[in-house]
C-alpha cells in the first residue's frame, strides 16, 4: 500500500518517480492546431461545428443567459450555496493581501521614475464540464482576477447533454463575479478566447484546468495570450512525527490519491511504528471510499514512504522533492515552516488536512506540481496584473549623465543610442 524506500542522501529514486509521471501527448499537436486554425478563420461557425461533433449537442445561444443562472440557483441546495459563499469570502480575504503597489522615486533634480501595477483588461477562465464539475476551481481561478481588478472575466465551459450549463458551475461563477459565460469547451473554446469570434471577444490571458486537448491548445496559443501553468499530476507529501494520528495521516494520503492514478502520496516519518500504523489505517479506510479503485492504483505506483532519523532529514528530502502540497503533522509545525524552501502550499499541524486548502481556507489551490515548486508559485493576484515602468529625466539630469550613457552605448557599438543622448546635450 505504501512502498518503503531506504533513506539515502538525495533519494533520487523517489524524485525520479515523482517527476516522470507525465504522459507525453505530442501527437495531439496536429489535431489541436487544426482546430485552432479553423476557429481563427471560421469563428462561431467552427465553434458550433466542434460542439456538435465533440459534445454531441446543438447549442442555441453560446452565451449563458441571466435566466439560466437564476434557474441554476433554484436547482442547487441552499446549504451548498451558503458553503460556497463562505469559501469565496475566505478566498477573497486571503488574496486581498497579495495586491502589489505602484511606487515612485523622485529626485531633487526633477527626475522621477516608478512602476505602475495594472490589471489585465480581459481574462478567460476555462472550466471543465462533464461528470466531474469543480465549482471550487471556479472560485480559485476567478477570485484572484477579480481582486487584481480585472474588469472583464469570461468563463467558457462545455455544454451539458441538454445544451445547458452545469448548475453548480453556474452558481459558483455568479458568486465569484463572472458576468459572461459561454457554453463551449475543448480546444475550440481556447481558440475562441485567444483569437476572438463574433460572439466571444478575445482575452489577454487564459487560466483554468482542462483535459489534454485543452492543455495542448493553451500551450499553442501561449505568446498570443498569456496562460497559467500547465498542471501536471498532483502530489502530497506528509511529514509526520510519532504523535501524529495515523488515522489522519492515512486519510490525507488518500485524499490526494483519489484525484487520479498518477497522483503521488509520500510519507516521511521519524517513526517505523507510525509507518506501520498508517499502512494498517490505509487498508482499513480505503475500503469505505467510493474511489477506492483509483486510490489503490495510485498507491501501487506512487505511494511511497521513507523513515528518516529525524525531522531535519525529513525537511531536507521534502525540499529536494518540492511537493505541491506539504503537510507538517508535527508538534511544532511553525518551527519547521521556516526551513521549508520548496512547496506549493504548506498545511500545518494535525488539524489542517489538505481539503481545507482545496475548498475553503483562503489560499489558492492552483499550485505548482511535479517538483516545480522549486521555481513556480500558486495562482495569485500577481497572475492577473502587468507591471509597467516609467521614467522622466529632467533637462538637468540628462545633461549631467549624458557622458556616462553615451560611453555605455558606444562600448556596445550602439551609436544611434548614443546619438539620441548627444542631440539633447546643451553645449555651453
Give the active site residues: 324-325
The whole-angstrom separation of Cα 108 and Cα 151 is 38
Binding of a copy of itself by 2 (CB under 8 A): no
Binding of a copy of itself by 411 (CB under 8 A): yes
Least distance (Å) between residue 182 CB and a copy of itself: 20
Would the annotation count 358 as a binding residue? yes
> CB-wise, 62 or 321, nearer to a copy of itself?
321
Binding a copy of itself (rule: CB under 8 A), the pick from 4, 272, 293, 414 is: 414
Would the annotation count 420 as a binding residue? no
> CB-wise, 159 or 353, nearer to a copy of itself?
353
Binding a copy of itself (rule: CB under 8 A), the pick from 321, 364, 427, 428 is: 364
Which one of the spans 6-14, 27-35, 50-58, 330-338 is the region binding a copy of itself (CB under 8 A)?
Answer: 330-338
- B/e letters for 287-298, b = 16+ CB within 10 Å, e = fewer, are eebeeeebbbbb
Do the beta carbons of residue 35 and residue 185 sit within 8 Å?
no
The whole-angstrom separation of Cα 347 and Cα 352 is 6
Strand 205-207 with 226-227, pairing:
parallel
Does an H or E element contain 206, and which?
strand 205-207
Would the annotation count 195 as a binding residue? no
Neighbouring C-beta atoms of residue 425, cutoff 10 Å: 12
Strand 235-240 with 264-269, pairing:
parallel
Sign, CA torsion 158/159/165/168: negative
Would the annotation count 188 as a binding residue? yes
The whole-angstrom separation of Cα 93 and Cα 409 is 48
> CB-wise, 49 or 230, nearer to a copy of itself?
230
Binding of a copy of itself by 10 (CB under 8 A): no
Does an H or E element contain 124, and which?
strand 122-126
Binding of a copy of itself by 355 (CB under 8 A): yes
Does an H or E element contain 293, and which?
helix 292-302
Residues 231-260 vs a copy of itself: string with x where CB under 8 A?
----------------xx--xx-xx-xxx-
Binding a copy of itself (rule: CB under 8 A), the pick from 23, 30, 290, 428 is: 290
Residues in a beta bridge with 388: 116
Q: Considering only residues 103 through 132, tell me which ones interact with a copy of itself, judged by CB under 8 A.
A: 103, 105, 111, 113-116, 118, 120-121, 131-132
φ, ψ of residue 198 to 5 degrees: the values are -60, -35
> CB-wise, 69 or 113, nearer to a copy of itself?
113
- Beta strands, E only, 334-419: 345-348, 385-392
Q: Considering only residues 37 through 96, tell me which ones interact with a copy of itself, judged by CB under 8 A.
A: 79-80, 82-84, 86-87, 93-94
Binding of a copy of itself by 211 (CB under 8 A): no
**Quick one: cell of 213?**
486537448
Would the annotation count 285 as a binding residue? no
Give the residue ranges of the annotated binding site: 126, 188, 211, 234, 256, 259, 325, 358, 412, 417
Amino acid at each position: 500500500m505504501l512502498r518503503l524506500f531506504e533513506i539515502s542522501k538525495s533519494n533520487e529514486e523517489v524524485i525520479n518517480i515523482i517527476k516522470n509521471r507525465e504522459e507525453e501527448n505530442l501527437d495531439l499537436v496536429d489535431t489541436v492546431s487544426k482546430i485552432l486554425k479553423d476557429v481563427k478563420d471560421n469563428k462561431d461557425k467552427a465553434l458550433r461545428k466542434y460542439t456538435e461533433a465533440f459534445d454531441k449537442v446543438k447549442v442555441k445561444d453560446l452565451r449563458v443567459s441571466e435566466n439560466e443562472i437564476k434557474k441554476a440557483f433554484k436547482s442547487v441546495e441552499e446549504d451548498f450555496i451558503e458553503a460556497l459563499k463562505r469559501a469565496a469570502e475566505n478566498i477573497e480575504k486571503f488574496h486581498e493581501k497579495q495586491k502589489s503597489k505602484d511606487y515612485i522615486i523622485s529626485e531633487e533634480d526633477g527626475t522621477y521614475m516608478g512602476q505602475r501595477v495594472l490589471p489585465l483588461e480581459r481574462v478567460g477562465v476555462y472550466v471543465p464540464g462533464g461528470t466531474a464539475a469543480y465549482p471550487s476551481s471556479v472560485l480559485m481561478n476567478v477570485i484572484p482576477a477579480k481582486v487584481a481588478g480585472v474588469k472583464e472575466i469570461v468563463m467558457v465551459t462545455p455544454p451539458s447533454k441538454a445544451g445547458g450549463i452545469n448548475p453548480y458551475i453556474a452558481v459558483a461563477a455568479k458568486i465569484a463575479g463572472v458576468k459572461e459565460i459561454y457554453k463551449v469547451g475543448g480546444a475550440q473554446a481556447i481558440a475562441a478566447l485567444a483569437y476572438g469570434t463574433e460572439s466571444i471577444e478575445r482575452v489577454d490571458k487564459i487560466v483554468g484546468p482542462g483535459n489534454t486537448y485543452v492543455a495542448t491548445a493553451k500551450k499553442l496559443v501561449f505568446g498570443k495570450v498569456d496562460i497559467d501553468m500547465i498542471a501536471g499530476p498532483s502530489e502530497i507529501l506528509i511529514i509526520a512525527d510519532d504523535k501524529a494520528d495515523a488515522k489522519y495521516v492515512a486519510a490525507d494520503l488518500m485524499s490526494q490519491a483519489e484525484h487520479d492514478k498518477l497522483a503521488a502520496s509520500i510519507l516521511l516519518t521519524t517513526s517505523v511504528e507510525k509507518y506501520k500504523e498508517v499502512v494498517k489505517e490505509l487498508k482499513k479506510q480505503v475500503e469505505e471510499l467510493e474511489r477506492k479503485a483509483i486510490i489503490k492504483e495510485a498507491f501501487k505506483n506512487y505511494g511511497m514512504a521513507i523513515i528518516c532519523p529525524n525531522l531535519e532529514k525529513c525537511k531536507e528530502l521534502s525540499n529536494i522533492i518540492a511537493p505541491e502540497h506539504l503537510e507538517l503533522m508535527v508538534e511544532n509545525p511553525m518551527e519547521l515552516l521556516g526551513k521549508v524552501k520548496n512547496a506549493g502550499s504548506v498545511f500545518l499541524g494535525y488539524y489542517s488536512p489538505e481539503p481545507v486548502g482545496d475548498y475553503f481556507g483562503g489560499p489558492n489551490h492552483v499550485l505548482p506540481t511535479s517538483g516545480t515548486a522549486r521555481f513556480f508559485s500558486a495562482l495569485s493576484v500577481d497572475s492577473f496584473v502587468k507591471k509597467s515602468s516609467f521614467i522622466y529625466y529632467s533637462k538637468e539630469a540628462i545633461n549631467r549623465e549624458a557622458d556616462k550613457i553615451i560611453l555605455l552605448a558606444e562600448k556596445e557599438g550602439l551609436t544611434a543610442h548614443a546619438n539620441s543622448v548627444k542631440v539633447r546635450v546643451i553645449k555651453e
